[in-house]
Every structure is written in C-alpha cells, then in structure tokens.
Structure 1
C-alpha cells in the first residue's frame, strides 16, 4: 500500500498582529498596494515584509509576502506591466446632486464558527448617502467588484446617458486590477483612486462601514457564513429608515426621492 502524500497545511487566509488580532490576506494586499503607491514604492518583497511589520504590527514572514505579491503580480520584475493603466488620482470636487460621485470600498467581517473572513463591497452615493449596490461573499475579486459597479449603474438607470458619476475608491487590489480598469472603461465611467493613507477622501463610504461595524458586525458572533449573510445583507433599514443628520434627518431613499423631484435640496458636498 502506497503511503498517502501530505498536501501540507491549508493556507489560513489571515495573519496575526502583535496583539493577536487576525488580519485577512485581502487587507494585507490592500496595505501592500498602498505602500507601493507611497513610501514603499521601490521595495522588493523582503523590504515589504519589514514595512508590514513596522507599520501595521503584523507577524508575517517574507515567504508569505512573496506569495501575496506573486498573486497580485507586483513582484519587481513584473511591476512595469501596470504602467499601461495609469493611475487617476482623486481630486477635490463639489457635489450638488445625486449620481455625481459614487464611493466604493470593501469591509471585512469574521465568522467565528468557521474561523474565516467574509467580504462586503458597497457602492454609496455621496450626495444622498444611499447604498446603491453591494456584494457579499467569501471572496471579492476584481470581477465581483466590477459586477457591483454595473449593478449600481443599472439600479440608478444611468446607462445610455451622457454624464455618468465619477467612481472613487482606495488602492485595494480589486480596484487597481486590469480587469476593473477595463470594466470602468466599458461602462464609460471615470475611476479615480485616493492617495495612500488618505481615507478622509473616501470618507462617506468609510462612515457607512463604521456604521455597519458598530450597528451590525460588532453585535453578532457569527457561527456560519449563512448566518452572517442573512444578517448583513438586510440593508433595507439603513436605506429606508435610518435617520441621517447630514440629509436633514431623513432616510437615504426618502431624501433621494425628494431631491430627485427638486422638492428638497441640501448644501453642496465638498469632497
């Protein structure tokens, strides 16, 4: 009888910080992208390992950083491939109505019963604060992020019009990928990315994700993905009933309907 060959330990999908907090691989990839867009732009995987340890307190070795960099195709010999998709930096904007600026980002949740993470990508209208579309899954790849943007445009019936909203994101690997860039070009929207370590430029979607953390994720210890999906995807309360002081104590959908009919206007939003 032939001995059974071991396939090795399964990849856990996270690393630990020095205080024992689990950080998903997707979050680490985002930190790597932000580093390479900023102070760590010239580093190889070994120096990126030191960068992650010093900046974020991660307990991570260079082999794992090499693997993550290889998955993202950002090892130094391949880095020039990204030049064909130049980065468009976010700039200051004045928003005077809905469907002018969308913000998108990814939030990570934890399933204690299965010891793994899930991912929530949300698309939010900066003016009326509505969460127009979202994706939730055990992964969130560029194709998923692209599909969520397409869903948002469909829900607002924006295909076929001359002026489409600008889309703003951070430097997560989903948003810097060739696939996502090509999708935005196909949709006809301008995609701009905020500079590294400037979350305030993506502040409205960051605020929503803080609400999601405080009012939903922090209240539950999920035992299964099915349980987390049932709880998190019930976004109707936020859109239909939650009071927002920034839009005169109205719910996002209520405000959107009123201002679309020119019955309600608030001050311009500067971002």
Structure 2
C-alpha cells in the first residue's frame, strides 16, 4: 500500500445514507420517528429486533449498527427510556374554550416512489380545528417548531396555551422545550404507550387516512403535499362533526364567537 492510500484510509469512515423503497434516500430524522414508534409499540424488543421491524414494515435498508446508534442517541435502548425528558406529565383537563389546549403529533405517509411525507399537525381540542401543520420530507424538532409558530401566528395566540404531545424525540428535546418556554407555551407529555391522551389529533390522522390517503394513489412527495393540503382545507371549512352539532370546525368557531 502506498503512502497516499494509507492516508486516505486513516480515520473513521463517513456514515452512509439509508435507503427506502426504490432506493430513495431516507433522512435520519424520519428513521428516528419510525424508530420511536417501534420502541413505543415493542418496548421489550432490543435494537436487533427493532431493526427487523423497520425493514419489514417500512422497507428501510439499514443495518443494526445504525439502529443501535440512533436508539442510543434518543435514549431508547433498554432499559426504556434512559434520557431525561423535557416537558410536564399530561393531566385530565376540562376544556371550555378555543385555543386553550392543543395536541400535536407526527404522521408519516409513504408515497408509491418510496418517498416519505411527514406531517406535523396541531389540533385545537375544543373546536377540532387543525390550527397548524408542517408537511416535509423530514420530521425534526425544527419542523415541529415551525408548525407551532404557524399555529400561534395564524390563530393570534400569545399566551395561556397548553400544548400536549407524545414522547417523540422532536418533542422531548431541550430545544423544543426552550422554544415552548420562550413562547409562553405550557408543554405536557402523555404517558408512554397512552395514545388516548392525544385522542383528538389521533382521530384527525385516522380521518386523514380513511378519507384522503386511502382514496388516492400518492405518487410522490409533491402529489401527496397537494392532496393533504386540500384535505386540511376541506376538513376545517366543510367537514361536519357530530360532536360540534354537525358543524365544521370553522363554522363552530364562528358561531361560538357570535
């Protein structure tokens, strides 16, 4: 081996990308979200079994070493969970007005070409209105912060808001908690494996799946973005809810203000 070759081979190799269906590159933030979901569902699995789940369920091409590295970074290695989470534990609340309690969650959609469409959505518990959203190829803390910023601005909210989330890595980060404190948001976390505490945003994502995603063959990210954006507008303006006296969320808000 010559001297130049020796120099090139010294040091730690640069981590490679991970791939999904049709050899599409998958961002680590997406893998972290799917990893967190798998660990929530199977908290008794080690990283090797979780790797198998990610491969089978999502078509990801990744090795167990990468899953171990990401799980260690997120504090998801057994015993579950090692890292200290930010935020407060969620409690039962009697909500009687709009913009008092919001729920935030992330949903992923996989397009036919293998691209991931990551939705960071925020719902107002009282009116059922989707007050904020961010549709991106990733699922980072910055994406979550952007969704909350949009919700605050578009709904003219400056204080006295409770934001409830699950224990995803985007929401348990120090950066997200600092952001909440800066914006006068009381951030609370639901207990592990208790999606019923976030029932309203879970319900919205279920409706989105049944009434939009399952009815369309989403070709790619751009196509999915358009369809989902159109559905959110329909949901807020037109879709009636039995719990709102058969009004849409925006109709319910307008009648509540009168």
**TM-score range normalised by the length of the shorter chain:** 0.7 to 0.9
In structure 2, the residue matched to 1:255 is: 252
Report the Cα distance in structure 1 between the residues aligned to 2:170 and 2:106, rounded to whole angstroms.
9
In structure 2, the residue matched to 1:109 is: 109
In structure 1, the residue matched to 2:96 is: 96
Report the Cα distance in structure 2 between the residues aligned to 1:175 and 1:13, rounded to whole angstroms.
25
Question: Which of these residues, 71, 74, 87, is aligned with residue 72 of structure 1?
Answer: 74
Question: Which of these residues, 169, 173, 179, is aligned with residue 177 of structure 1?
Answer: 173
Shift of 1:259: 1.0
> Match of 2:19, SS?
coil
> Match of 2:170, SS?
helix
Report the Cα distance in structure 2 between the residues aligned to 1:27 and 1:142, rounded to whole angstroms.
11
Shift of 1:251: 0.4
Question: Which of these residues, 12, 21, 37, is aligned with residue 19 of structure 2?
Answer: 12
Cα 1:109–1:205 change in 2 (3 A) is same
User: Does the CA contact (< 8 Å) of 2:86 and 2:174 recur in 1?
Assistant: no
Question: Which of these residues, 211, 215, 218, is aligned with residue 215 of structure 1?
Answer: 211
> Match of 2:108, SS?
strand
User: Does the CA contact (< 8 Å) of 1:33 and 1:173 recur in 2?
Assistant: no
Question: Which of these residues, 225, 234, 251, is aligned with residue 237 of structure 1?
Answer: 234
Cα 1:191–1:13 change in 2 (3 A) is farther
Q: How does 1:144-159 map to 2 (within 5 A)?
A: 144-159=143-158
1:187 aligns with 2:183: yes
Give the TM-score taking structure 2 as reference length. Answer: 0.78
1:47 aligns with 2:46: yes
> Match of 1:133, SS?
strand
Report the Cα distance in structure 1 between the residues aligned to 2:37 and 2:175, rounded to whole angstroms.
20
Cα 1:239–1:53 change in 2 (3 A) is same
User: Does the CA contact (< 8 Å) of 2:190 and 2:198 recur in 1?
Assistant: yes
Question: Once the two structures are superposed, what CA deviation does each residue of 1:96-144 show, in whole Å capped at 9, x if it has no partner?
Answer: 11111000101111111x2121101111000000001100010121011
Shift of 1:254: 0.7
Shift of 1:196: 1.2
In structure 2, the residue matched to 1:266 is: none
Shift of 1:224: 2.0
For structure 1, the 5+ residue unaligned runs are: 15-23, 41-45, 262-271
Question: Which of these residues, 21, 25, 28, is aligned with residue 34 of structure 2?
Answer: 28
